[in-house]
Amino acid sequence: MSSPPTLPEEPASGLFRAEYARRMNAVLDHIDRHLDTPLDLAQLADVAHFSRFHFHRVFAAWMGETLGDYARRRRLETAALRLACRPGKTILDVALATGFGSGEAFARAFKLKFGCTPTAWRADVAAKNAAMLAAMRLRRQDSNPDQAMRNTDQESLLNFQHHDDSHSHHRESLMKVTILDLPPATVACQRHIGPYGPAISTFWRDTVAPWMQSHGLDDAICYGIGHDDPGITPPDKCRYDACVAVPDGFQSGGRASITTLPGGRYAVAQFKGPSSAIAETWTRMTREWLPASGLQWDERPCFERFSAATAIDPATGEFSCDICIPVRPL
């Protein structure tokens, strides 16, 4: 059996930066898990294994915003998502679950951030969703159905195209949703912070795929996790994790963080089509199917799951994946 290809050794500066990224991402994940509690600067510094004295400065330099500003933004963005996705929760419930001491303090901060009250935001969700779907369908109807989607070079993850809106699809995709209990998965994750879209394709192709090849993971199951809603979070702050299933005891070499995707009940829809159509499928699933299902989104991450070896159909250029949303009863 041939050994996996060996890539040129990465310069020390690249390894150091990867280590910084790994530590800072651990802090961001910790903050997200504890939005309902006051942040302790010393504890966060310990999570990152950085000096407590200098951590605030390191965080601000790395993220482009202070720790306080970041935490406030994440609390409000998470609250906005919960207002939209959890109609059964009161505004006070959402406020307390995202770290605000009272409904009044939450309402003031929310209006300052989004320009409207939490009540108005929630009331406007249905109209916004309908307008979004209508605009997507109109774009597809007006597009050129003969626009080339084939690319005979698209035979592997190396040419993975993800959420690229440069093409449109002229067929209405059929969506069948199945409720499944998925097992936990041990994964190696690398994070991209910035706008979704073509940059994610580049990240998989130029960063993740070579790393996979060098570790003999060409045929692994992959998971793409978009943590933020670009309609709420500024595009340059959106977080995306490219994750690859790895065996127990796997050593990542420092570039990737090893974590576990939680198992449990998921609503799963199989997608196959041009990558430009996947955003609409996500929208239809969360705005049309989910409210009528008797289920709601829970705290676990949603993701796209696909095989690195077979995600792209070499004959058509179409992308295949499972869209997985974690659910629980209303």
Q: How far apart are CA 190 and CA 200, in angstroms?
A: 12
CATH class, domain 157-329, is alpha beta
Closest CA relative to residue 21, chosen from 272, 239, 244: 239
The answer to whether the CB of 74 falls within 8 A of the CB of 39 is no
Structure tokens at 169: 């699809």
> How do the domains of the chain map onto residue ranges?
12-122, 157-329
Encode 2-30: b = buried (16+ Cβ within 10 Å), e = exposed. eeeeeeeeeeeeeeeebeebbbbbbbbbe
Dihedrals φ, ψ of 128, to 5°? -65, -40
| pLDDT by 10s per residue, the chain, length 330 | 444 444 344 455 666 677 888 888 899 999 999 999 988 889 998 998 888 877 888 888 888 889 999 999 999 999 998 898 887 889 999 999 999 999 999 999 999 999 999 999 988 876 665 555 555 555 544 443 333 222 323 334 444 444 444 333 333 445 689 999 999 999 999 999 999 888 998 999 999 999 999 999 999 999 999 998 888 899 999 999 999 999 988 987 778 999 999 999 999 999 998 877 888 888 888 777 887 888 888 888 899 999 988 898 888 889 999 999 999 887
Q: Which residues does 78 contact at the CB level (< 8 Å), separation at least 6?
A: 32, 35, 98
Give the per-residue pLDDT at 156.
Answer: 43
Q: How far apart are CA 275 and CA 98, in angstroms?
A: 34
The H or E element spanning position 328 is strand 319-329
Give the per-residue pLDDT at 201.
Answer: 87
For the question of whether the overall pTM of this predicted structure is more than 0.75, the answer is no
Q: Are strands 221-226 and 319-329 parallel, antiparallel or unpaired?
A: unpaired
- Fold (CATH) for 12-122: Arc Repressor Mutant, subunit A (1.10.10)
Give the per-residue pLDDT at 15.
Answer: 67
